Chain A
Amino acid sequence: MAIKDFLRERFFPHIWCPGCGHGIVLNSLLRAIEKLGMSKNEIVVVSGIGCSSRISGYVDFHTLHTIHGRALAFATGVKMSLPELNVIVPMGDGDALSIGGNHFIHAARRNIDLTAIVMNNRIYGMTGGQYSPLSGYGTLATTAPYTNIDYAFDTVELAAAAGASFVARSTTYHVQQLTKILRQAILHEGFSVVEVLSQCPTYFGIQNRAGSAVDMMEYFKNNTIPIGSKAKKENPDLIERGVFVEKEMPEYCSEYDKIIERAMKGRT
């Protein structure tokens, strides 16, 4: 099946600004799905609110565009009710880790088989450039006109600490790696988190003098390294890319099936 067959062309043009990284994530996601050979009817994409969350409308799967921060909770209902579905949850940084932070850690703790994608452009784009919990200390935003004094979460460390059984990071520059990681994440049985560093030239870029979309992608190229690179020892500010956590753990819906089996046999 061609990538184009996964798109709902009826709903184009999309809302993303020129240079936005989210289209690259969409491209990688569809290429990853293409390689899996699943039926479109087996895939559900659940998103929340924000620029990133519009991704659900553009893809020809079962799509659920929900409310801000709650995509993982809706996805939990879909998955638990019908575990044979593959449920993918693309979210923005504010959506996933600010308003949705509680659902994020609890979905990770349950190890329910969802694929959470955090499209991290370090800004609230849809509302026009306010700081997010991933903007980081010293950044500028419309709500941090002097400077941002909030420290950022490390998405990877947070996900791993909360119990996610697959945790990875890539960027919109490293599309080959991103596609491979997304494929692994979807195939992984359990809660998987993929953080994608994505660029918002319109709001984060302009306010933080980060240059054009190309400059911002160049930044991803020059400031990220594969996990375990020696360069990290020399420059601790470099951001690591790759699969940080991949472990086999009992998956939530499979565990609940055992509860049903017990209950049906009359054992408490």
Chain B
Amino acid sequence: MKNKNIKFVQGNEACVEGALYAGLDFFAGYPITPSTEIAELLSYRLPQKGGKFIQMEDEIASMCTIIGASLTGSKVMTATSGPGFSLMQEALGYAIMAEIPCVIVNVQRGGPSTGIPTHVSQGDVNQARWGTHGDHAIVTITASNHQDVFETTVDAFNISETYRTPVILLYDEVVGHMRERLLMPEQGELPLVERLRTSVREGVDYHPYLPREDGRLPMSDFGGVHRYNVTGLFHDMWGFPSDNPKIVHGLLRHLVDKIQNNVNQIARFKEYFLEDAECILISYGSSARSANHVVASRRPRGERLGLLELQTLWPFPYDLVREKCANAKYVVVVEMNMGQIMQEVRKAVDRPEKVFLANRIDGVFITPTNIRDILRLIQGKGV
């Protein structure tokens, strides 16, 4: 029987479906490979539901535009790749400082600079973490298959609304362009977080930047009854600029703590055969598919291999990685960069010297054979 909820789509399309499911109202973007399909599809789909799409003059403008739209109460998103993501960094910091919910998709290609636009890489992991200047916390999520792309996209909107923070969806070219099955969840099947709006009535002093006891900040939409100031400067509870050391200290601590104190709530991961694993592969995004293939094909031969697939990259789940890898003899991080997540895994585990890197950085997708060869080398067996 034909199931109309099953689609055969690109990862970029799964991201679009997830965003629309989450209630996306507004998208601004600029064409860039390999993310362009997201903009193309949304230019078609958004107006069908009364939403808005705009192609801006560059990625700087795109990022600024979605922040403006978010302030009126819209759920917003932009999508880009490395060079565009570089251009978005200043405004990304603004969204962090002014605590404005928004979702930024980066479908990674090879860099630096123009790099290798049509080929895969996972080189923007640290840029997602530290791309914008100054101390800050950030949420970055990824996925290895289209069902998870859909779900992590929904999750990105939910996290963004919950913590009033930008969320980066860090996919890669293979996930973005590969086609596979997507089973569309029914409405109501996945939880959706709507914007928390203030209950303060008209005429009563509303403090837009005074967190509630639970740390959350109820918003008031632009155009509503509360008029307040939004700025990228350090600001007081009214949103007015301040260089008072107490206020500066308190705000920066709030911005970092609201994310870092919720690492466990934000952490998404999947695990395969970890219980008795001697060798644990840690991977994320498309490279986790090859890692998973290695584990699944070697297990029947009695090799005690396991896989920890990370979906939340930032805030990095150090405690989770430490616990999961406590009994492993080797930990091999499989990624398509020079070891950006491997560095974090080394910080997390009891013995950093047991952590190895299985990578590929030539724009070619890392294969199960590549990983198996590296595993043999680590085990002293030769290729």
Which residues does A use to contact B, with CB under 8 Å?
8, 10-11, 40-42, 44, 46, 56-57, 60-67, 70, 73-82, 84-85, 102-103, 106, 256, 259-260, 262-264, 266, 268
Contact = CB atoms under 8 A, between A and B. Distances in A.
A64 B65 contact: no
A70 B61 contact: yes
Interface residues of B, number: 45
The 7 A-B residue pairs with the shortest CB-CB distance in the complex, in nearest-first order: A77-B68, A73-B64, A263-B47, A81-B69, A77-B65, A77-B69, A73-B61
B26 interface: yes
B267 interface: no
Given A70-B61, A73-B61, A81 B227 contact: no
5 contacts: A44-B223, A61-B227, A65-B241, A80-B26, A256-B54
Given A8-B229, A75-B68, 15 more contacts: A10-B240, A11-B229, A62-B71, A65-B233, A66-B67, A67-B91, A76-B65, A77-B28, A77-B65, A82-B73, A82-B223, A103-B57, A106-B56, A256-B52, A263-B47
A84 to B, nearest CB: 7
Interface in B218-260: 221-225, 227-233, 238, 240-241
Nearest to A112: B54
Contacts of A73: 56, 60-62, 64-65, 68
Contacts of A41: 223-225, 227
B194 interface: no
Contacts of A61: 227
Contacts of B224: 41
A260 B67 contact: no
Given A41-B223, A66-B94, A74-B64, A80 B57 contact: no
Contacts of B118: none
Nearest to B97: A67
A62 B222 contact: yes
B199 interface: no
Contacts of A260: 47, 50, 52
Given A41-B225, A76-B54, A80-B54, A10 B64 contact: no
A74 B65 contact: yes
Nearest to B57: A106
A40 B222 CA distance: 11
B3 interface: no
A183 B58 CA distance: 31
A259 B47 contact: yes
Contacts of B91: 67, 70
A236 to B, nearest CB: 34
Interface string B118-136: 0000000000000000000
A76 to B, nearest CB: 5
B94 A57 contact: no
B235 to A, nearest CB: 9
Contact of B227 (A60, A75, A259, A262): A60
Interface in B1-49: 25-26, 28, 44, 47-48
A66 B230 CA distance: 8
Nearest to A99: B60
Given A44-B222, A259-B47, A102 B58 contact: yes
A42 B221 CA distance: 12
